[in-house]
């Protein structure tokens, strides 16, 4: 396995709690009614192309991309469009979405539904990118950045490495882990497709050392795949962060304010690699994904293959119900996920897990005075000073926040996790980033 690599600055080690690591992926039935928000990617929301009352098939185009950084959305179910209306999203906002009353499960004819694994790559780089674009692929790790945009390096830059993110550094979550174990071959083909699309000859699959079965399985599978290697990584949060993973695998540092491509790297999640396989080899748009449902009191911590638009409640029911003790539900992992207010919120392309927390875990501890212990600075993976940034943000000194590089914060939460005084550092950092970002943008407009 070689020496375990990791990133250089900061990092924390929260309790892993991977309760569902041994639960094989179960296919969940389509919902009775699917709620499909139109903004499922980072960037512009999609534009609906279906009307109320229209019959749709599974995999049929529902909404098209409305700009460069935007993706189409396909129907995860077959049935009749009930209405196009505001639906509650995971952030607690009402957002325009398409609601479909499900009837049967009739798929589009051009989707290859066979179990065979297609390993022959018959497409050119451009064809692969086009298929990925049309299939509505976004980063499945949670950032939901349109995949095809990352595959087209801007002029003057060139990709050297494709890095596949199998780190899954968030505690509790196991969807990527299960994918690597059960869909390893497809992920390898997806990786080869991405390599061809990017015209690179080197790909590294980075996996943390707490998943030895996934490491050995994929190491075995890539033996005959030229240019792909598996890199075991020391367990450390937030190793799944793009910049941290690049540092850990190829020891390059993405300059402040720049994209990974500036150091010749493109990072894609293992879930995305699988979706690329399905989109290109099986003609299947992105309309379902693997979601972990977990929590200390959850009776059956599970990993489900679910249709986009399925209400969270249905996943919880399949994991044998909401525990009595439930006080908080998180969409995503405990370090970066969002607390949701209702179980009616639908699964979207970026949902990686549903974490159910009990009363004792649900509340923050009382904040006390900062004792200037510097622990937030020691753990910051970006080399920032969270105590200082939160303090200047609290009093509105955004000029200092900008100078002290608040925009480099990746919101990983390591500072707040570690703070002995329980100060909500990340709350203030988010506020500061938001305001500072607005100031920077307005400056650009007037200049």
Contact string 231-270 vs other proteins (x = CB under 8 A): ------------x---x-----xxxxxx------------
CB of 349 to other proteins, least distance (A): 20
User: How many residues interact with other proteins (rule CB under 8 A)?
Assistant: 72
Round to whole Å and give the CA distance between 411 and 200: 30
- Select 76 or 333, whichever has its Cβ closest to other proteins: 333
Query: Which residues between 168 and 187 bind other proteins (CB under 8 A)?
Result: 171
| 3-state SS, residue 164 | strand
Round to whole Å and give the CA distance between 348 and 46: 13
CB of 84 to other proteins, least distance (A): 26
Residues 95, 427, 435, 439: which binds other proteins (CB under 8 A)?
Answer: 427
- Select 36 or 335, whichever has its Cβ closest to other proteins: 335
CB of 124 to other proteins, least distance (A): 34
What is the sign, positive or negative, of the torsion defined by CA atoms of 401, 402, 403, 407? positive
DSSP 186-197: HHHHHHHHHHHH
- Is the separation of the CB atoms in 228 and 189 below 8 Å? no
* 61 touches other proteins by CB under 8 A: no
DSSP 210-240: T-HHHHHHHHHHGGGSTTEEEEEE---BTTT
* 321 touches other proteins by CB under 8 A: no
Contact string 384-423 vs other proteins (x = CB under 8 A): xx-xx--------------xxx--x--x-x--xxxxxxx-
* 83 touches other proteins by CB under 8 A: no
Residues 4, 5, 6, 9: which binds other proteins (CB under 8 A)?
Answer: 9
The counts of H helices and E strands in the chain are 14, 17
Round to whole Å and give the CA distance between 338 and 318: 21
Q: At what angle do helices 175-182 and 184-198 cross, to 10 degrees?
A: 100
Stretch that binds other proteins, among 134-142, 144-152, 286-294, 339-347 (CB under 8 A): 339-347
* 329 touches other proteins by CB under 8 A: yes
Phi-psi region for residue 66, left (φ > 0), alpha (ψ -120 to 50) or beta?
A: alpha
Task: For residue 204, report the phi and psi dihedrals to the nearest 5 degrees.
Answer: -125, 130
Query: Which residues between 132 and 171 bind other proteins (CB under 8 A)?
Result: 171
CB of 231 to other proteins, least distance (A): 20
CB of 418 to other proteins, least distance (A): 5
- Select 101 or 422, whichever has its Cβ closest to other proteins: 422
Round to whole Å and give the CA distance between 320 and 5: 39
- Is the separation of the CB atoms in 76 and 346 below 8 Å? no
- Select 42 or 410, whichever has its Cβ closest to other proteins: 410
* 374 touches other proteins by CB under 8 A: yes
- Residue 188's contacts (CB-CB under 8 Å, 6 or more residues apart) are 218, 221, 222, 225, 228
CB of 256 to other proteins, least distance (A): 4
Q: For residue 371, what are its two tokens? A: 């004792």
For strands 353-358 and 326-331, give the pairing. antiparallel
* 202 touches other proteins by CB under 8 A: no
For strands 353-358 and 288-294, give the pairing. parallel
Query: Which residues between 86 and 105 bind other proteins (CB under 8 A)?
Result: 92
- Select 136 or 432, whichever has its Cβ closest to other proteins: 432
Stretch that binds other proteins, among 214-222, 273-281, 292-300, 319-327 (CB under 8 A): 319-327
* 67 touches other proteins by CB under 8 A: no
Residues 1, 27, 117, 373: which binds other proteins (CB under 8 A)?
Answer: 373
Longest dimension (CA), the chain: 64
- Select 223 or 364, whichever has its Cβ closest to other proteins: 364
Query: Which residues between 264 and 303 bind other proteins (CB under 8 A)?
Result: none
Contact string 12-31 vs other proteins (x = CB under 8 A): x-xx----------------
* 434 touches other proteins by CB under 8 A: no
**DSSP H or E segment with residue 98:** strand 94-102
Residues 276, 336, 348, 354: which binds other proteins (CB under 8 A)?
Answer: 336
* 323 touches other proteins by CB under 8 A: no
Query: Which residues between 203 and 222 bind other proteins (CB under 8 A)?
Result: none
DSSP percent split of the chain into helix, strand, coil, nearest 5:
30, 20, 50
- Select 30 or 413, whichever has its Cβ closest to other proteins: 413
- Burial label, 447 (beta-carbon count in 10 A; 0-12, 13-18, 19+): exposed
């Amino acid at each position: 396995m070689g020496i375990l690599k990791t990133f250089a600055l900061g990092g924390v080690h929260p309790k892993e709690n991977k309760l569902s690591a041994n639960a094989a992926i179960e296919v969940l039935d389509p919902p009775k009614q699917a709620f499909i928000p139109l903004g499922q990617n980072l960037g512009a929301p999609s534009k609906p192309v279906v009307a109320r009352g229209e019959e749709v098939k599974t995999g049929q185009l529902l909404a098209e991309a409305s700009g460069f950084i935007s993706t189409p959305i396909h129907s995860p179910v077959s049935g009749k469009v009930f209405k196009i209306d505001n639906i509650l999203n995971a952030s607690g906002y009402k957002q325009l979405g398409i609601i479909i009353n499900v009837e049967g499960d009739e798929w589009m004819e051009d989707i290859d539904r066979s179990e065979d694994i297609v390993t022959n790559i018959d497409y050119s780089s451009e064809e692969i990118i086009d298929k990925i674009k049309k299939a509505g692929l976004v980063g499945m790790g949670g950032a939901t950045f349109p995949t095809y945009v990352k595959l087209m390096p801007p002029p003057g830059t060139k990709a050297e490495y494709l890095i596949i993110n199998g780190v899954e550094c968030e505690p509790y979550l196991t969807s990527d882990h299960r994918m690597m174990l059960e869909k390893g071959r497809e992920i390898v083909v997806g990786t080869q497709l991405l390599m061809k699309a990017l015209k690179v000859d080197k790909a590294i699959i980075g996996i943390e050392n707490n998943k030895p079965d996934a490491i050995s399985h994929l190491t075995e599978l890539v033996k005959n795949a030229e240019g792909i290697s598996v890199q075991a990584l020391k367990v450390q949060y937030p190793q799944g962060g793009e910049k941290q993973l690049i540092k850990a695998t190829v020891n390059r540092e993405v300059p402040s304010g720049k994209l990974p491509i500036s150091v010749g790297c493109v990072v894609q999640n293992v879930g995305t690699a699988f979706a690329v396989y399905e989109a290109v080899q099986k003609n299947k748009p992105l309309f379902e994904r693997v979601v972990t449902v977990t929590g200390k009191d959850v009776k059956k911590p599970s990993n489900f293959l679910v249709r986009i638009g399925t209400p969270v409640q249905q996943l919880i029911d399949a994991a044998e119900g909401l525990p009595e003790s439930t006080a908080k539900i998180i969409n995503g992992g405990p370090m970066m996920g969002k607390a949701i207010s209702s179980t009616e919120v639908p699964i979207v392309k970026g949902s990686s897990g549903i974490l159910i927390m009990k009363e004792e875990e649900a509340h923050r501890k009382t904040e006390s005075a900062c004792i200037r212990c510097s622990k937030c600075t020691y753990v910051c993976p970006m080399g920032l000073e969270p105590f200082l940034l939160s303090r200047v943000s609290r009093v509105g000194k955004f000029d200092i926040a900008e100078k002290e590089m608040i925009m480099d914060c990746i919101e990983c939460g390591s500072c707040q996790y570690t703070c002995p005084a329980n100060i909500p550092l990340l709350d203030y950092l988010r506020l500061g980033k938001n305001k500072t970002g607005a100031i920077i943008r307005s400056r650009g407009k007037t200049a």
